Chain A
Protein backbone atom coordinates (compact mmCIF):
# COMPACT_ATOMS: atom_id res chain seq x y z
CA UNK A 1 0.00 0.00 0.00
CA UNK A 2 1.07 3.51 -0.67
CA UNK A 3 3.57 2.49 -3.30
CA UNK A 4 3.08 4.05 -6.72
CA UNK A 5 2.46 1.54 -9.41
CA UNK A 6 4.78 1.98 -12.33
CA UNK A 7 3.04 1.11 -15.54
CA UNK A 8 4.74 -1.60 -17.50
CA UNK A 9 6.27 -0.63 -20.83
CA UNK A 10 4.95 2.96 -21.08
CA UNK A 11 3.87 3.14 -24.69
CA UNK A 12 4.42 6.54 -26.17
CA UNK A 13 3.69 5.44 -29.68
CA UNK A 14 0.59 3.88 -31.01
CA UNK A 15 1.40 0.33 -31.99
CA UNK A 16 0.57 1.09 -35.63
CA UNK A 17 2.86 4.06 -35.75
CA UNK A 18 6.55 3.59 -36.34
CA UNK A 19 9.08 5.64 -34.39
CA UNK A 20 9.99 8.96 -35.97
CA UNK A 21 13.32 7.79 -37.34
CA UNK A 22 11.57 5.08 -39.32
CA UNK A 23 8.87 7.27 -40.79
CA UNK A 24 9.24 7.30 -44.55
CA UNK A 25 10.52 10.50 -46.11
CA UNK A 26 7.61 10.41 -48.54
CA UNK A 27 4.36 8.56 -48.42
CA UNK A 28 1.55 8.65 -50.97
CA UNK A 29 -1.62 7.08 -49.63
CA UNK A 30 -4.19 6.23 -52.30
CA UNK A 31 -3.44 9.40 -54.20
CA UNK A 32 -5.37 10.29 -57.32
CA UNK A 33 -5.09 13.35 -59.48
CA UNK A 34 -7.46 14.31 -62.26
CA UNK A 35 -7.32 17.19 -64.68
CA UNK A 36 -10.95 17.51 -65.68
CA UNK A 37 -11.99 14.09 -66.84
CA UNK A 38 -8.41 12.91 -67.29
CA UNK A 39 -7.21 10.75 -64.39
CA UNK A 40 -3.49 11.31 -64.42
CA UNK A 41 -2.59 9.62 -61.13
CA UNK A 42 -4.78 6.66 -60.37
CA UNK A 43 -5.06 5.59 -56.73
CA UNK A 44 -1.33 5.42 -56.30
CA UNK A 45 0.49 4.51 -53.09
CA UNK A 46 4.19 4.93 -52.67
CA UNK A 47 6.78 5.11 -49.91
CA UNK A 48 10.25 6.50 -50.13
CA UNK A 49 12.62 5.89 -47.23
CA UNK A 50 15.03 8.44 -45.86
CA UNK A 51 18.10 8.67 -48.05
CA UNK A 52 16.55 6.38 -50.61
CA UNK A 53 17.19 7.11 -54.28
CA UNK A 54 14.30 6.29 -56.52
CA UNK A 55 14.12 6.56 -60.31
CA UNK A 56 10.76 7.04 -61.89
CA UNK A 57 10.48 5.89 -65.50
CA UNK A 58 7.62 5.42 -67.87
CA UNK A 59 6.15 6.58 -71.16
CA UNK A 60 5.26 10.19 -71.85
CA UNK A 61 2.07 11.22 -70.10
CA UNK A 62 2.24 8.43 -67.52
CA UNK A 63 2.19 10.95 -64.66
CA UNK A 64 5.84 11.12 -63.58
CA UNK A 65 6.04 14.89 -63.53
CA UNK A 66 2.67 15.07 -61.82
CA UNK A 67 4.00 12.97 -58.94
CA UNK A 68 6.87 15.39 -58.41
CA UNK A 69 4.58 18.39 -58.73
CA UNK A 70 2.18 16.93 -56.18
CA UNK A 71 5.06 16.46 -53.80
CA UNK A 72 6.31 20.01 -54.35
CA UNK A 73 2.73 21.24 -53.70
CA UNK A 74 2.56 22.68 -57.20
CA UNK A 75 -0.52 20.51 -57.66
CA UNK A 76 -3.09 19.37 -55.16
CA UNK A 77 -4.27 15.75 -55.10
CA UNK A 78 -7.88 15.11 -56.04
CA UNK A 79 -8.01 12.25 -53.56
CA UNK A 80 -5.72 10.69 -51.01
CA UNK A 81 -3.01 12.02 -48.76
CA UNK A 82 0.63 12.85 -49.25
CA UNK A 83 2.83 12.71 -46.18
CA UNK A 84 6.34 13.91 -45.63
CA UNK A 85 8.19 12.47 -42.63
CA UNK A 86 4.81 11.48 -41.27
CA UNK A 87 3.16 14.90 -41.54
CA UNK A 88 0.32 15.59 -43.95
CA UNK A 89 1.68 17.75 -46.76
CA UNK A 90 -1.47 17.79 -48.83
CA UNK A 91 -4.70 15.94 -49.11
CA UNK A 92 -7.59 15.66 -51.52
CA UNK A 93 -10.70 17.50 -50.50
CA UNK A 94 -9.73 19.29 -47.32
CA UNK A 95 -7.37 22.21 -47.26
CA UNK A 96 -4.42 22.11 -44.92
CA UNK A 97 -3.15 25.10 -43.05
CA UNK A 98 -0.16 26.80 -44.63
CA UNK A 99 1.49 27.05 -41.21
CA UNK A 100 1.46 23.27 -40.97
CA UNK A 101 2.39 22.60 -44.57
CA UNK A 102 5.26 25.09 -44.83
CA UNK A 103 7.70 23.25 -42.52
CA UNK A 104 7.06 20.03 -44.42
CA UNK A 105 7.45 21.66 -47.80
CA UNK A 106 10.71 23.13 -46.53
CA UNK A 107 12.16 19.62 -46.49
CA UNK A 108 11.69 19.33 -50.24
CA UNK A 109 13.69 20.84 -53.08
CA UNK A 110 13.15 20.55 -56.80
CA UNK A 111 15.18 20.93 -59.97
CA UNK A 112 13.20 21.57 -63.14
CA UNK A 113 13.62 20.55 -66.75
CA UNK A 114 13.69 24.22 -67.81
CA UNK A 115 16.05 25.30 -64.96
CA UNK A 116 13.74 28.20 -64.02
CA UNK A 117 16.63 30.32 -62.84
CA UNK A 118 15.78 33.92 -61.97
CA UNK A 119 17.00 35.71 -65.12
CA UNK A 120 17.37 39.10 -63.45
CA UNK A 121 19.85 37.81 -60.89
CA UNK A 122 23.41 36.58 -61.17
CA UNK A 123 24.20 32.94 -60.52
CA UNK A 124 25.40 33.86 -57.04
CA UNK A 125 22.28 35.93 -56.32
CA UNK A 126 20.10 33.07 -57.53
CA UNK A 127 21.66 30.78 -54.94
CA UNK A 128 21.62 33.41 -52.19
CA UNK A 129 18.03 34.49 -52.75
CA UNK A 130 16.12 31.90 -50.73
CA UNK A 131 18.55 31.68 -47.79
CA UNK A 132 18.47 35.46 -47.43
CA UNK A 133 14.78 36.03 -48.10
CA UNK A 134 13.29 32.92 -46.54
CA UNK A 135 15.76 31.81 -43.87
CA UNK A 136 16.86 35.40 -43.15
CA UNK A 137 20.46 34.32 -43.31
CA UNK A 138 22.86 37.29 -43.06
CA UNK A 139 24.13 38.26 -46.51
CA UNK A 140 27.81 37.43 -45.89
CA UNK A 141 26.89 33.96 -44.66
CA UNK A 142 24.57 33.41 -47.61
CA UNK A 143 27.29 34.55 -49.97
CA UNK A 144 29.79 32.13 -48.46
CA UNK A 145 27.21 29.35 -48.69
CA UNK A 146 26.38 30.20 -52.30
CA UNK A 147 30.05 30.33 -53.25
CA UNK A 148 30.73 26.94 -51.72
CA UNK A 149 27.70 25.45 -53.46
CA UNK A 150 28.70 26.91 -56.82
CA UNK A 151 32.14 25.44 -56.29
CA UNK A 152 30.55 22.12 -55.51
CA UNK A 153 28.74 22.08 -58.85
CA UNK A 154 31.92 23.18 -60.63
CA UNK A 155 30.96 26.81 -61.22
CA UNK A 156 33.21 28.65 -58.80
CA UNK A 157 34.13 31.19 -61.47
CA UNK A 158 30.60 31.86 -62.70
CA UNK A 159 29.01 33.54 -59.69
CA UNK A 160 28.86 36.94 -61.36
CA UNK A 161 27.32 35.64 -64.58
CA UNK A 162 23.67 36.05 -65.42
CA UNK A 163 21.76 32.95 -66.52
CA UNK A 164 21.64 34.27 -70.09
CA UNK A 165 25.44 34.20 -70.11
CA UNK A 166 25.63 30.54 -69.13
CA UNK A 167 25.25 27.34 -71.14
CA UNK A 168 22.29 25.10 -70.46
CA UNK A 169 24.44 22.69 -68.50
CA UNK A 170 25.86 25.50 -66.40
CA UNK A 171 22.40 26.92 -65.77
CA UNK A 172 21.13 23.57 -64.61
CA UNK A 173 24.08 23.21 -62.25
CA UNK A 174 23.30 26.65 -60.79
CA UNK A 175 19.71 25.48 -60.35
CA UNK A 176 20.96 22.45 -58.43
CA UNK A 177 23.13 24.66 -56.22
CA UNK A 178 20.17 26.95 -55.66
CA UNK A 179 17.99 24.05 -54.52
CA UNK A 180 20.76 22.72 -52.26
CA UNK A 181 21.05 26.08 -50.53
CA UNK A 182 17.76 25.36 -48.73
CA UNK A 183 19.20 22.08 -47.40
CA UNK A 184 16.34 19.85 -48.50
CA UNK A 185 16.08 16.30 -47.22
CA UNK A 186 14.17 15.23 -50.29
CA UNK A 187 15.29 16.30 -53.76
CA UNK A 188 13.12 16.04 -56.82
CA UNK A 189 14.70 16.00 -60.27
CA UNK A 190 12.34 16.30 -63.22
CA UNK A 191 14.09 15.39 -66.45
CA UNK A 192 16.88 17.76 -65.63
CA UNK A 193 18.82 16.93 -68.78
CA UNK A 194 16.00 16.86 -71.32
CA UNK A 195 16.47 20.49 -72.34
CA UNK A 196 20.24 20.15 -72.68
CA UNK A 197 22.55 19.65 -75.61
CA UNK A 198 24.00 16.14 -75.57
CA UNK A 199 27.54 17.32 -74.87
CA UNK A 200 26.63 18.94 -71.53
CA UNK A 201 24.35 16.22 -70.17
CA UNK A 202 27.29 14.42 -68.60
CA UNK A 203 28.42 17.35 -66.46
CA UNK A 204 24.95 17.67 -64.93
CA UNK A 205 24.57 13.95 -64.29
CA UNK A 206 28.01 13.89 -62.69
CA UNK A 207 26.86 16.52 -60.20
CA UNK A 208 23.81 14.47 -59.29
CA UNK A 209 25.94 11.35 -58.88
CA UNK A 210 28.30 13.19 -56.56
CA UNK A 211 25.34 14.44 -54.52
CA UNK A 212 24.14 10.87 -54.23
CA UNK A 213 27.54 9.88 -52.86
CA UNK A 214 28.14 12.80 -50.58
CA UNK A 215 24.71 13.53 -49.11
CA UNK A 216 21.95 11.66 -47.38
CA UNK A 217 19.10 13.31 -49.21
CA UNK A 218 16.31 11.15 -50.47
CA UNK A 219 16.11 11.59 -54.23
CA UNK A 220 13.25 11.09 -56.61
CA UNK A 221 14.55 11.19 -60.14
CA UNK A 222 12.40 11.35 -63.26
CA UNK A 223 14.46 10.74 -66.35
CA UNK A 224 14.48 9.40 -69.86
CA UNK A 225 18.18 8.53 -69.53
CA UNK A 226 17.88 4.85 -68.70
CA UNK A 227 21.56 4.46 -67.81
CA UNK A 228 21.26 7.28 -65.31
CA UNK A 229 17.98 5.89 -63.93
CA UNK A 230 19.72 2.59 -63.28
CA UNK A 231 22.98 3.92 -61.86
CA UNK A 232 21.58 6.54 -59.52
CA UNK A 233 18.82 4.50 -57.94
CA UNK A 234 18.32 2.06 -55.10
CA UNK A 235 14.93 1.33 -56.59
CA UNK A 236 13.34 1.90 -59.97
CA UNK A 237 9.64 2.45 -60.44
CA UNK A 238 8.07 1.92 -63.83
CA UNK A 239 4.71 3.59 -64.19
CA UNK A 240 2.07 3.81 -66.84
CA UNK A 241 -1.27 5.62 -66.97
CA UNK A 242 -0.88 6.96 -63.46
CA UNK A 243 -0.17 3.61 -61.84
CA UNK A 244 2.91 1.79 -60.70
CA UNK A 245 3.31 -1.20 -62.98
CA UNK A 246 6.53 -2.61 -61.60
CA UNK A 247 9.22 -1.59 -59.17
CA UNK A 248 12.37 -3.08 -57.86
CA UNK A 249 16.11 -3.31 -57.84
CA UNK A 250 17.55 -1.39 -60.81
CA UNK A 251 19.84 -4.11 -62.06
CA UNK A 252 17.07 -6.67 -61.90
CA UNK A 253 14.36 -4.48 -63.38
CA UNK A 254 16.45 -3.35 -66.31
CA UNK A 255 17.94 -6.78 -67.01
CA UNK A 256 14.87 -8.95 -66.60
CA UNK A 257 11.63 -7.14 -65.89
CA UNK A 258 8.74 -9.26 -64.73
CA UNK A 259 5.99 -7.31 -66.35
CA UNK A 260 5.42 -7.51 -70.06
CA UNK A 261 4.64 -3.79 -70.28
CA UNK A 262 7.88 -2.89 -68.54
CA UNK A 263 9.65 -5.11 -71.03
CA UNK A 264 7.92 -3.43 -73.95
CA UNK A 265 8.79 0.04 -72.64
CA UNK A 266 12.44 -0.82 -72.07
CA UNK A 267 12.70 -2.32 -75.54
CA UNK A 268 11.09 0.74 -77.04
CA UNK A 269 13.50 3.17 -75.38
CA UNK A 270 16.48 1.02 -76.32
CA UNK A 271 15.13 1.03 -79.89
Chain B
Protein backbone atom coordinates (compact mmCIF):
# COMPACT_ATOMS: atom_id res chain seq x y z
CA UNK B 1 0.00 0.00 0.00
CA UNK B 2 1.57 3.22 -1.00
CA UNK B 3 -0.08 5.91 0.92
CA UNK B 4 0.02 9.64 0.80
CA UNK B 5 -2.64 9.96 3.46
CA UNK B 6 -2.02 11.91 6.59
CA UNK B 7 -3.09 8.96 8.70
CA UNK B 8 -0.49 6.61 7.28
CA UNK B 9 2.28 6.70 9.83
CA UNK B 10 4.55 4.10 8.28
CA UNK B 11 7.79 5.31 6.80
CA UNK B 12 7.26 5.37 3.05
CA UNK B 13 10.18 5.00 0.65
CA UNK B 14 7.80 5.73 -2.19
CA UNK B 15 7.17 9.19 -0.75
CA UNK B 16 10.88 9.82 -0.77
CA UNK B 17 11.12 8.83 -4.42
CA UNK B 18 8.16 11.03 -5.24
CA UNK B 19 9.58 14.10 -3.60
CA UNK B 20 13.15 13.61 -4.76
CA UNK B 21 12.88 15.50 -8.10
CA UNK B 22 11.44 18.56 -6.36
CA UNK B 23 14.13 18.40 -3.71
CA UNK B 24 16.88 18.12 -6.31
CA UNK B 25 15.53 21.19 -8.07
CA UNK B 26 15.56 22.93 -4.69
CA UNK B 27 19.11 21.74 -4.11
CA UNK B 28 20.21 23.39 -7.34
CA UNK B 29 18.70 26.66 -6.12
CA UNK B 30 20.41 26.28 -2.75
CA UNK B 31 23.76 25.69 -4.44
CA UNK B 32 23.25 28.63 -6.77
CA UNK B 33 22.39 30.91 -3.88
CA UNK B 34 25.36 29.64 -1.88
CA UNK B 35 27.83 30.00 -4.76
CA UNK B 36 26.68 33.51 -5.63
CA UNK B 37 26.52 34.46 -1.95
CA UNK B 38 30.05 33.22 -1.37
CA UNK B 39 31.42 35.14 -4.33
CA UNK B 40 29.73 38.30 -3.11
CA UNK B 41 30.89 37.72 0.47
CA UNK B 42 34.48 37.06 -0.65
CA UNK B 43 34.62 40.14 -2.87
CA UNK B 44 32.95 42.46 -0.37
CA UNK B 45 34.81 40.97 2.60
CA UNK B 46 38.15 41.39 0.87
CA UNK B 47 37.28 44.92 -0.17
CA UNK B 48 36.34 45.82 3.41
CA UNK B 49 39.50 44.24 4.81
CA UNK B 50 41.78 46.13 2.41
CA UNK B 51 39.87 49.41 2.63
CA UNK B 52 40.10 49.26 6.40
CA UNK B 53 43.90 49.18 6.26
CA UNK B 54 44.09 52.66 4.78
CA UNK B 55 45.05 55.59 6.92
CA UNK B 56 41.62 57.26 6.66
CA UNK B 57 40.06 57.17 10.14
CA UNK B 58 36.56 57.90 8.86
CA UNK B 59 36.60 54.89 6.55
CA UNK B 60 37.81 52.66 9.39
CA UNK B 61 35.01 53.86 11.68
CA UNK B 62 32.33 53.37 9.03
CA UNK B 63 33.55 49.89 8.15
CA UNK B 64 33.79 48.84 11.80
CA UNK B 65 30.26 50.10 12.43
CA UNK B 66 28.93 48.28 9.38
CA UNK B 67 30.67 45.04 10.36
CA UNK B 68 29.49 45.23 13.95
CA UNK B 69 25.88 45.95 13.07
CA UNK B 70 25.70 43.21 10.45
CA UNK B 71 27.34 40.67 12.72
CA UNK B 72 25.20 41.36 15.73
CA UNK B 73 21.81 41.18 14.04
CA UNK B 74 20.16 37.99 12.80
CA UNK B 75 20.42 37.12 9.13
CA UNK B 76 16.70 36.38 9.15
CA UNK B 77 15.88 39.97 10.03
CA UNK B 78 18.30 41.26 7.42
CA UNK B 79 16.58 39.09 4.83
CA UNK B 80 13.15 40.34 5.86
CA UNK B 81 14.34 43.93 5.66
CA UNK B 82 15.77 43.39 2.21
CA UNK B 83 12.69 41.52 1.05
CA UNK B 84 9.89 43.62 2.50
CA UNK B 85 11.40 47.03 3.12
CA UNK B 86 14.01 47.54 0.39
CA UNK B 87 11.41 47.42 -2.44
CA UNK B 88 9.56 50.31 -0.81
CA UNK B 89 12.55 52.57 -1.23
CA UNK B 90 14.75 50.96 -3.81
CA UNK B 91 14.76 48.42 -6.56
CA UNK B 92 12.49 45.46 -6.43
CA UNK B 93 14.67 42.39 -6.75
CA UNK B 94 13.68 38.79 -7.26
CA UNK B 95 13.53 36.70 -4.08
CA UNK B 96 16.62 34.74 -5.08
CA UNK B 97 18.67 37.87 -5.82
CA UNK B 98 17.48 39.39 -2.56
CA UNK B 99 18.54 36.25 -0.74
CA UNK B 100 21.97 36.21 -2.38
CA UNK B 101 22.41 39.85 -1.45
CA UNK B 102 21.47 39.12 2.15
CA UNK B 103 23.73 36.10 2.44
CA UNK B 104 26.64 37.84 0.73
CA UNK B 105 26.48 41.02 2.77
CA UNK B 106 25.95 39.13 6.01
CA UNK B 107 28.90 36.84 5.47
CA UNK B 108 31.10 39.61 4.11
CA UNK B 109 31.15 41.03 7.63
CA UNK B 110 32.63 37.79 8.94
CA UNK B 111 34.97 37.30 6.01
CA UNK B 112 36.31 40.85 6.26
CA UNK B 113 37.51 39.99 9.77
CA UNK B 114 38.91 36.70 8.56
CA UNK B 115 40.78 38.38 5.72
CA UNK B 116 42.01 41.07 8.05
CA UNK B 117 43.52 38.50 10.37
CA UNK B 118 44.99 36.61 7.41
CA UNK B 119 46.57 39.71 5.93
CA UNK B 120 47.99 40.66 9.32
CA UNK B 121 49.43 37.16 9.65
CA UNK B 122 51.63 37.61 6.58
CA UNK B 123 55.04 38.57 7.96
CA UNK B 124 56.12 42.19 7.61
CA UNK B 125 59.23 40.95 5.84
CA UNK B 126 57.13 39.99 2.83
CA UNK B 127 56.13 43.62 2.33
CA UNK B 128 59.69 44.73 2.83
CA UNK B 129 61.13 42.21 0.39
CA UNK B 130 58.58 43.45 -2.15
CA UNK B 131 59.74 47.03 -1.69
CA UNK B 132 63.35 45.91 -2.03
CA UNK B 133 62.41 44.23 -5.33
CA UNK B 134 60.72 47.41 -6.57
CA UNK B 135 57.30 45.78 -6.67
CA UNK B 136 54.47 48.32 -6.86
CA UNK B 137 51.85 48.23 -4.13
CA UNK B 138 49.08 46.64 -6.20
CA UNK B 139 51.42 43.89 -7.44
CA UNK B 140 52.55 43.25 -3.89
CA UNK B 141 48.93 42.75 -2.81
CA UNK B 142 48.01 40.47 -5.69
CA UNK B 143 51.16 38.42 -6.06
CA UNK B 144 52.69 38.29 -2.58
CA UNK B 145 50.32 39.18 0.26
CA UNK B 146 46.90 37.89 -0.77
CA UNK B 147 48.05 34.46 -1.97
CA UNK B 148 49.65 33.89 1.43
CA UNK B 149 46.78 35.42 3.40
CA UNK B 150 44.32 33.31 1.46
CA UNK B 151 46.14 30.09 2.34
CA UNK B 152 46.22 31.11 5.98
CA UNK B 153 42.47 31.69 6.16
CA UNK B 154 41.30 28.97 3.79
CA UNK B 155 40.08 26.67 6.60
CA UNK B 156 38.01 29.49 8.06
CA UNK B 157 36.63 30.47 4.68
CA UNK B 158 35.68 26.83 4.19
CA UNK B 159 33.80 26.81 7.47
CA UNK B 160 31.92 29.96 6.57
CA UNK B 161 31.06 28.50 3.17
CA UNK B 162 29.50 25.46 4.78
CA UNK B 163 27.77 27.65 7.29
CA UNK B 164 26.36 29.81 4.51
CA UNK B 165 25.24 26.73 2.61
CA UNK B 166 23.17 25.71 5.63
CA UNK B 167 22.05 29.26 6.27
CA UNK B 168 20.71 29.44 2.71
CA UNK B 169 17.73 27.48 4.02
CA UNK B 170 16.54 30.77 5.52
CA UNK B 171 15.79 31.88 1.98
CA UNK B 172 12.70 29.69 2.23
CA UNK B 173 11.23 32.41 4.43
CA UNK B 174 11.40 34.95 1.61
CA UNK B 175 9.64 32.61 -0.83
CA UNK B 176 12.72 31.20 -2.53
CA UNK B 177 12.02 27.58 -3.40
CA UNK B 178 15.39 26.23 -2.43
CA UNK B 179 15.95 22.83 -0.84
CA UNK B 180 14.07 23.44 2.40
CA UNK B 181 11.41 25.51 0.68
CA UNK B 182 10.73 22.74 -1.83
CA UNK B 183 10.55 20.24 1.00
CA UNK B 184 8.12 22.32 3.04
CA UNK B 185 5.91 22.89 0.03
CA UNK B 186 5.66 19.18 -0.60
CA UNK B 187 5.26 18.21 3.03
CA UNK B 188 2.62 20.88 3.53
CA UNK B 189 0.50 19.26 0.84
CA UNK B 190 1.08 15.65 1.82
CA UNK B 191 1.86 15.85 5.54
CA UNK B 192 4.75 13.43 4.97
CA UNK B 193 7.12 15.54 7.08
CA UNK B 194 9.12 12.58 8.37
CA UNK B 195 10.17 11.23 5.00
CA UNK B 196 10.65 14.60 3.37
CA UNK B 197 12.67 16.15 6.13
CA UNK B 198 14.75 13.01 6.54
CA UNK B 199 15.59 13.21 2.88
CA UNK B 200 16.38 16.91 3.17
CA UNK B 201 18.74 16.13 6.02
CA UNK B 202 20.44 13.41 4.01
CA UNK B 203 20.91 15.73 1.03
CA UNK B 204 22.28 18.50 3.24
CA UNK B 205 24.67 16.07 4.84
CA UNK B 206 25.97 14.54 1.61
CA UNK B 207 26.63 17.87 -0.06
CA UNK B 208 28.06 19.40 3.10
CA UNK B 209 30.36 16.42 3.51
CA UNK B 210 31.57 16.54 -0.09
CA UNK B 211 32.07 20.28 0.31
CA UNK B 212 34.26 19.88 3.36
CA UNK B 213 36.33 17.16 1.67
CA UNK B 214 36.91 19.40 -1.32
CA UNK B 215 38.07 22.21 0.94
CA UNK B 216 40.40 19.85 2.81
CA UNK B 217 41.79 18.73 -0.51
CA UNK B 218 42.40 22.29 -1.66
CA UNK B 219 44.08 23.07 1.66
CA UNK B 220 46.46 20.17 1.15
CA UNK B 221 47.12 21.14 -2.46
CA UNK B 222 47.99 24.69 -1.48
CA UNK B 223 50.19 23.80 1.49
CA UNK B 224 53.83 24.69 1.11
The reply to whether A118 and B126 form a contact with Cβ atoms under 8 Å apart is yes
Interface status of B5 (Cβ within 8 A of chain A)? no
Give bound CA distance, A112 to B123, whole Å. 13
For B24, list chain A residues within 8 Å (CB): none
Given A110, A133, A164, which contacts B135 in the complex, CB threshold below 8 Å? A133
The reply to whether A74 and B147 form a contact with Cβ atoms under 8 Å apart is no
State the interface size on chain B (CB cutoff 8 A): 18
Given contacts A120-B151, A133-B143, A134-B139, contact A106 B126 (CB under 8 A): no
Give the size range of A's interface with the partner. Answer: 20 to 34
The reply to whether A102 and B128 form a contact with Cβ atoms under 8 Å apart is no
Contact with B along A3-33 (1 / 0, CB 8 A): 0000000000000000000000000000000
Q: How near does chain B come to A114, taking the closest CB pair, in angstroms?
A: 5
Q: How near does chain A come to B4, taking the closest CB pair, in angstroms?
A: 57
Given contacts A74-B131, A134-B139, A179-B132, contact A114 B148 (CB under 8 A): no
In chain A between 127 and 173, which residues have their CB closer than 8 angstroms to a CB of chain B? Answer: 129-130, 133-134, 162, 164
For A134, list chain B residues within 8 Å (CB): 133-136, 139
The reply to whether A112 and B125 form a contact with Cβ atoms under 8 Å apart is yes
The reply to whether A120 and B147 form a contact with Cβ atoms under 8 Å apart is yes
The reply to whether A178 and B125 form a contact with Cβ atoms under 8 Å apart is no
Given B126, B136, B143, which contacts A116 in the complex, CB threshold below 8 Å? B126
Given A102, A116, A164, which contacts B134 in the complex, CB threshold below 8 Å? A102
Interface status of A72 (Cβ within 8 A of chain B)? yes
The reply to whether A133 and B139 form a contact with Cβ atoms under 8 Å apart is yes
Binding site for A on B (CB under 8 A): 123, 125-126, 128-129, 131-136, 139, 143-144, 147-148, 151, 224
Would you give 28 A-B contacts (Cβ < 8 Å), ordered by A?
A: A72-B128, A72-B131, A72-B132, A74-B128, A74-B131, A102-B134, A109-B132, A109-B133, A112-B128, A112-B132, A116-B123, A116-B126, A116-B128, A116-B129, A118-B126, A118-B129, A118-B144, A119-B224, A120-B147, A120-B148, A120-B151, A129-B143, A133-B135, A133-B139, A134-B134, A134-B139, A179-B132, A179-B133
14 more CB-based (< 8 A) A-B contacts, given A116-B123, A133-B139? A72-B128, A73-B131, A109-B133, A114-B123, A118-B126, A119-B148, A120-B147, A120-B148, A120-B224, A129-B135, A134-B135, A164-B224, A178-B133, A182-B134
